[in-house]
Structure 1
Amino acid sequence: MTRSALLVRHGQHERNDRVAELLRGRGFRLDQRFVARGDELPALDEGHDLCVVYGGPQMASEAEQIDYLAAELRWIDDWVGAGRPYLGICLGAQMLARSQGAKVEAHRAGLHEVGYAEVLPTPRGREVLPEPMYAYHWHSEGFDVPAGAELLAVGRVFENQAFRLDGRIYGLQFHPEVTREMMQEWMTEASHCLLRPGAQSREQQIAGAERYHEPLGAWLEGFLDRWIEGR
Structure 2
Amino acid sequence: MGLLIVKNITREGPGILKGLLLKNNINYEIVDLNAGEEFPEPENYSAVIVLGGPDSANDTTEKMLNELEMIRKTIDAGIPYLGICLGMQSLVKACGGSVHPNEVKEIGFRGGDGDYYSVNIKEEHTNDHLFTGLENPVKIFHLHGETVDITNEMELLATGKYCRHQIVKTGKNAYGIQGHFELTPEMFRVWLDSDPELREMDREMLTRDFDLLADEYRNTGRKLFGNFLKIAGIIQV
Length-normalised TM-score, structure 1? 0.87
TM alignment of 1:1-231, pairs within 5 A: 4-13=2-11, 15=13, 17-46=15-44, 48-62=45-59, 65-108=60-103, 111-116=104-109, 117-127=117-127, 128=131, 129-195=134-200, 201-230=202-231
Change in CA separation of 1:182 and 1:146 when aligned onto 2, cut-off 3 Å: farther
**Higher relative contact order (Cα pairs below 8 Å, separated by 6+ residues):** 2
Contact 2:10/2:32 (CA < 8 Å) preserved in 1?
A: yes
Q: What number of residue pairs does the alignment pair up?
A: 220
Residues 211 and 56 (structure 1), Cα distance of their counterparts in 2 relative to 1, 3 Å cut: same
Residue identity in the other structure for 1:99: A
Alpha-carbon distance in 1 for matches of 2:197, 2:71: 31
Task: Give the SS at the match of 2:151.
Answer: coil
Gaps of 5+ in 2: 110-116, 232-236
**How large is the Cα RMSD of the aligned pairs?**
2.0
**How many Å separate the matches in 1 of 2:219 and 2:197?**
30
Q: CA-to-partner distance for each residue in 1:125-155, whole Å, 9 max, x for gaps? A: 3232541121111111111223312211111
C-alpha displacement of 1:71: 0.7
Opposite residue 54 of structure 1, the aligned amino acid is L
Task: Give runs of ≥4 in structure 1 deviating > 6 Å.
Answer: none
What is the Cα deviation at residue 60 of structure 1?
1.7
CA distance in 1: counterparts of 2:169 and 2:12, whole angstroms? 27
How far apart are residue 226 of structure 1 and its match? 2.3
What CA distance in whole angstroms lies between the structure 2 residues aligned with 1:44 and 1:16? Answer: 18
TM-score, structure 2 as length reference: 0.85
- Structure 1 residues 186 and 14 mapped into 2: Cα distance closer, same or farther (>3 Å)? closer
Q: Deviations over 1:132-182 (max 9, x none)?
A: 121111111111223312211111111110011122211000100111222
Q: Counterpart of 1:165 in structure 2: which amino acid?
A: T
Amino acid of the residue matched to residue 91 of structure 2? L
Tell me the CA shift for residue 208 of structure 1: 1.7
- Residue type matched to 1:172 in 2? I
Q: Counterpart of 2:2 in 1: which secondary structure? A: strand
Q: Deviations over 1:31-58 (max 9, x none)?
A: 1111222222222442x11111000111
